[in-house]
Amino acid sequence: VEYIKSGVIANIEGSMNGAVGRLCSTGGFSKTAILRSHGGRYRAIQDGDLHVDLAFIAAPSADSHGNANGVHGPSAFGSIGFALVDSLYADQVVVVTDNLVPFPCHPWAIQGGNVDYVVQVDSLGDPEKIVSGTTKITTDPTRLKIARWAAELVQDTGLVDEPEFSFQAGAGGMSLAFVKYLGEFMREKGVSASFARGGSTQLLVDLLNEGIVKYILDGQCFDMAGIRSLAENPRHIDTNPFTSYCYHTKGCFAPRVKVSVLGATEIDVNFNVNVNTHSDGWLLHGIGGFQDTTDAYMTVITAPLVRKIHPIVVKDVVTVTAPGEAIDALVTEYGIAVNPRRHDILDRLKGSGLPLVTMEELYDKATELIGGTRAPEPETTDRIVAAIEWRDGTVIDVVRQLVTDNKE
């Protein structure tokens, strides 16, 4: 933050979290920040929209030629695929490692022919800290109910019975519960998934080892079990945003995912989703892979209808991260709303015992739960402080400077 305030850092094109997001929200950047998804960042660099002068790539294992990977060494953290685009397109590429091994370092997710310098340091960090409280299955009864309904939704569509069924879920507590329930349903039915898209967790690794999931296509490891599996299991495959998410390829595999289950800050009655700003207008989150995963056949948002005093279903989201046509269902503890555009999904659910409702009914219920009065829209100036890019580089929405009276 101090570097931004002093002008050493003029702008950020990436995630806006915590104090950095707050500074951006109040107009603390001299330029307009740009937020992109994982695949969107790869596309932007590949297409020349974002030029990288100098890239530092932390590599848990590397040789003096610059070949590097993220799965071996004392600081192993798993997939290093996010850095591939930097190694290919940056003017200068520096690999930083605490585990310099004899040539050849293999597998080489980063290829030495693209690297200018290799720098050895004492330690890259502690991989044990990859695991946080959010990478544990929720014990909250409401969230467990939502997760189970989400798994039942997938089951009742019949998708799990199809030969190329695949899925993706996050590493939050409710998403992990969804994976647990889905695994139980698949075990009972004697079916398997052709692949699961990571981030990998202990739960996914267990399903892989059991044969309920045939392959994990991994872009990020969320715990130590995922890291070990990626290093040791040939059916646990390291991927990168080019093959998985980049919109300007001859075909990434994002559309091959049948079901993605995601969280959200808020969703409106037209199914537009916001994952970047809170309902009070503060820009506190990045996009991550959210936009990219909406390419699945069925994209499902899971969320409690109200968080504390804030309703999740609103008339209009503060910021559009993904448009309503990309979102197919919302699962809450008060029912499941399926996007009326998706007649095919609704047809699949005929005869299901799940509590199907409309988005308008969920909106009314959320209003009732908070006492009937909704907070006013956040007050902003006309100044645009950040742009939200869609996967193809078009600007889908903007974030305007908050009026805060110098109070945060």
Neighbours of 267 (CB within 10 A): 26
Delimit the domains of the chain by residue range. Answer: 33-129, 141-370
Query: What is the second-level CATH architecture of the domain 33-129?
Result: 3-Layer(aba) Sandwich (3.40)
Residues 98-125 have pLDDT tens digits of: 999 999 999 999 999 999 999 999 999 8
pTM exceeding the 0.75 threshold for the entire prediction: yes
d(CA 159, CA 345): 10
Helix 173-189 / helix 141-156 crossing angle, nearest 10 deg: 40
Q: Is the pLDDT of residue 328 over 80?
A: yes
Please check whether the two domains, 33-129 and 141-370, share a CATH topology. yes
Two tokens at 160? 């799990």
CATH 3.40.50.300 corresponds to the domain 141-370: no
Question: 77 pLDDT exceeds 60?
Answer: yes
Q: What is the pLDDT of residues 199-258, one digit of tens each?
A: 899 999 999 999 999 999 999 999 999 999 999 999 999 999 999 999 999 999 999 999
What is the pairing mode between strands 61-62 and 68-69? antiparallel
Long-range CB contact pairs, 352-358, < 8 A, 24+: 352/156, 353/156, 354/149, 354/152, 354/153, 354/156, 355/149
Q: Using alpha carbons, list the distances in angstroms from residue 230 to 213, 227, 398.
A: 14, 5, 38
